Chain A
Amino acid sequence: MADDQPPKRPHAEGADAGWAAIGYLLGGMLVWGGVGWLIDKWLGLPNVGLLIGLIGGAAAGVYLTVKRLDG
């Protein structure tokens, strides 16, 4: 459906993708790090959930960025 606009913004796309990547990485760590932290608080764990959440969230953010830039 997107090809009714064939001249795809040549230079602006870079800025768009860059900020989107930052948003995803930040969002991933924020969301899943936050969830992990809450689980830590709930179960009284020593920051295990926070760590797993941060790393997992960052990985998910990278995955989303790659997906978005591919498509």
Chain B
Amino acid sequence: MITQPGFLASEFPPGPEVFDYKTLIPSLEGSPWGHAFTKLTLLVWIAVAIVIVFFLVTYRNPTLVPSKKQWLAESVYGVVRNNIATDIIGPQGVRFAPYLATIFCFVFVTNLWSIVPFAQISPNSHLAFPAVLAVLTWFVYIGLGIKKHGFFGYLKHACVQPGVPLAVQPILIPIEFISNLVLRPITLAVRLFANMFAGHMILLVFTLGGVALWNAGPLLLKPAALGSWAFAIIMTLFELFILSLQAYVFTLLSATYFQSSISEEH
């Protein structure tokens, strides 16, 4: 309360530059490798470690009557396997459950960083991370389709809507091609990225806005600053909801795409 850090408030309307992080290794400063070792990549590595260690530890001594940890791991995998994989893809969806569960856990934990104190930024708020995941899913569903229908068979499967007059097909085929084979990975990546980006921005606006109001001077504005901080807390809870939902949606849509690749018809 004595002297609020003035620099925080001076940065008040936060811009996209708040997403730029300096390299953690000073000697790499300025080199292209600098971007490979930032807070964001560190958080990704920690997230990977957390997921691996969590499942290794919880599945080390599986018992018939599960312990609490084992129950948690089993219910995460069970939800993905039963409510996403088999529900959407059908009985043969079980073979995609490991992939989908991995995607779900990775996206969830990396998203969770956005509200963990001191981390407070999700790597997924940089487009590169969701893009890699989306391209992975893209490769898998195109690969599945080609394996199932053959190259041209899959093109026909993905681009030609049955039961449409032949004269209309030339208008529709380019649309199907763009939306099924080109737009899907882009929307998949952008949806996750934009949600995490906006979430981080909202939290910054309310937190830094509170500081700006507090520092503004007039006593009348101090309650407004408290209100702003209170709303930051509410938005943090909202962010928890959004980040879980986005992890679920990413997995769900991956499963939907797999289903559309291996289905007999549309």
Which A residues form the contact surface with B (CB < 8 A)?
Answer: 1-2, 5, 9, 11-12, 15-16, 19-20, 22-24, 26-28, 30-32, 56-57, 60-61, 63-64, 67-68, 71
Contacts and interface: CB of A to CB of B under 8 A. Distances in A.
B168 to A, nearest CB: 8
A16 B263 contact: no
Given A1-B265, A2-B263, A23 B187 contact: yes
Nearest to A35: B174
A16 B184 CA distance: 12
Nearest to B182: A27
B187 A19 contact: yes
Given A5-B90, A5-B91, A9-B87, A24 B256 contact: no
A47 to B, nearest CB: 20
Interface stretch (B50-58, B61-69, B130-138, B159-167): B159-167
A2 B265 contact: yes
B181 to A, nearest CB: 10
23 contacts: A1-B265, A5-B90, A5-B91, A9-B87, A12-B255, A15-B249, A16-B256, A19-B253, A23-B179, A24-B175, A24-B176, A26-B179, A27-B175, A31-B174, A31-B175, A31-B178, A32-B175, A57-B175, A60-B168, A60-B172, A60-B175, A61-B175, A67-B163
B3 to A, nearest CB: 50
Nearest to A19: B253
A27 B163 contact: no
A61 B168 CA distance: 12
B4 interface: no
Contacts, number: 73
Contacts of B175: 24, 27-28, 31-32, 57, 60-61, 64
Given A9-B87, A60-B171, A24 B266 contact: no
Contact of A27 (B161, B183, B265): B183
Interface residues of B, number: 30
Nearest to A64: B172
B120 interface: no
B161 A64 contact: yes
B252 A12 contact: yes
Contact of B161 (A23, A28, A30, A68): A68
A34 to B, nearest CB: 9
Contacts of A56: 171
A56 B263 CA distance: 30
